[in-house]
Amino acid sequence: DTGVSQDPRHKITKRGQNVTFRCDPISEHNRLYWYRQTLGQGPEFLTYFQNEAQLEKSRLLSDRFSAERPKGSFSTLEIQRTEQGDSAMYLCASSHPPGGSVTSPLHFGNGTRLTVT
Amino acid sequence: SQQGEEDPQALSIQEGENATMNCSYKTSINNLQWYRQNSGRGLVHLILIRSNEREKHSGRLRVTLDTSKKSSSLLITASRAADTASYFCATDSQGGKLIFGQGTELSVKP
């Protein structure tokens, strides 16, 4: 399967601990996105990369969140000093947009479900 | 922040019936996309409609776009139990990211 993969699928952590999630996009896709989704809500944009450059980060995202895509391939999302409000599904998606600024369809992974106790 | 608002929030129909979901948005867009999500899974892209298009079809799916009203609708014809899922609209207004709506939860009863 050459789709988007995320690891781990589930993570339970205690409040105050740091967690890191990994996303492996589809290999030829140059854009990579992170979204957060809570129960009954739509995905909320967190950040996205074009190759290794982080082009946008949501203003709603606290400084405890950081994402990297060091070689323009896989990406990691780290949450420091986790809080119970961080409990959510963290979704990664990738795409390969055509030339220009138009967004093309996103291919999503199955997410990492984080539970902070 | 969410740009799209979907209506209804939940929809329950019988197999064979048609399902219509609506999406409204606030700013001008490059394109609008619809996605489907089964419980506990990632989203799957269904269809993309560009701002200069008014209607698009894909199998049993029909999407319309009215940019003057800033709204779109997704019609699923001859629904099946396997269509049970959450459906989201998403707008591309800045060419970088997609902003998703709250979703419509569709239940198709056999």
pLDDT score for B26: 92
Measured CA to CA, the distance from residue B73 to residue B71 in angstroms comes to: 7
Give the nearest partner residue to B48 out of A55, A60, A105, using CB atoms.
Answer: A105
Which of the four pLDDT bands, split at 50, 70 and 90, describes residue A1? low
Choose the weakest-confidence range: A45-49, A103-107, B17-21, B82-86.
A103-107
Average pLDDT over residues A25-51: 94
Whether the per-residue pLDDT at A46 is higher than 80: the answer is yes
Nearest CA in chain A to B88: A42
Q: Which residues of B touch A33 (CB under 8 A)?
A: 97-98
Tell me chain B's radius of gyration from C-alpha atoms: 13
pLDDT score for B1: 46
Q: Three-class SS of residue B17?
A: coil
Q: Three-class SS of residue B38?
A: coil
Which of the four pLDDT bands, split at 50, 70 and 90, describes residue B47? very high
Minimal CA separation from A17 to chain B, in Å: 24
Nearest CA in chain A to B89: A42
User: Are the C-beta atoms of A79 and A86 separated by less than 8 Å?
Assistant: yes
User: Are the C-beta atoms of A90 and A114 separated by less than 8 Å?
Assistant: yes
Average pLDDT over residues B79-94: 94
Average pLDDT over residues B63-77: 97
Average pLDDT over residues A31-58: 94
Give the nearest partner residue to A91 out of B42, B92, B99, using CB atoms.
Answer: B42
Please answer yes or no on whether B102 and A102 come within 8 Å at the CB atom. Answer: no
Distance of CA B16 to the CA centre of its chain: 19
pLDDT score for A97: 74
pLDDT score for A102: 63
pLDDT score for B93: 79
DSSP assigned state of A113 = E
Q: Which residues of B touch A40 (CB under 8 A)?
A: 102-103
pLDDT score for B5: 83
User: Are the C-beta atoms of B61 and B74 separated by less than 8 Å?
Assistant: yes
Query: What percentage of chain B exceeds 70 in pLDDT?
Result: 95
User: Are the C-beta atoms of A89 and A37 separated by less than 8 Å?
Assistant: yes
pLDDT score for A101: 53
pLDDT tens-place string over residues A57-85: 998 788 999 999 998 899 999 999 999 99
Please answer yes or no on whether B2 and A107 come within 8 Å at the CB atom. Answer: no
Measured CA to CA, the distance from residue A83 to residue A14 in angstroms comes to: 8
Q: Which residues of A touch B30 (CB under 8 A)?
A: 101-103
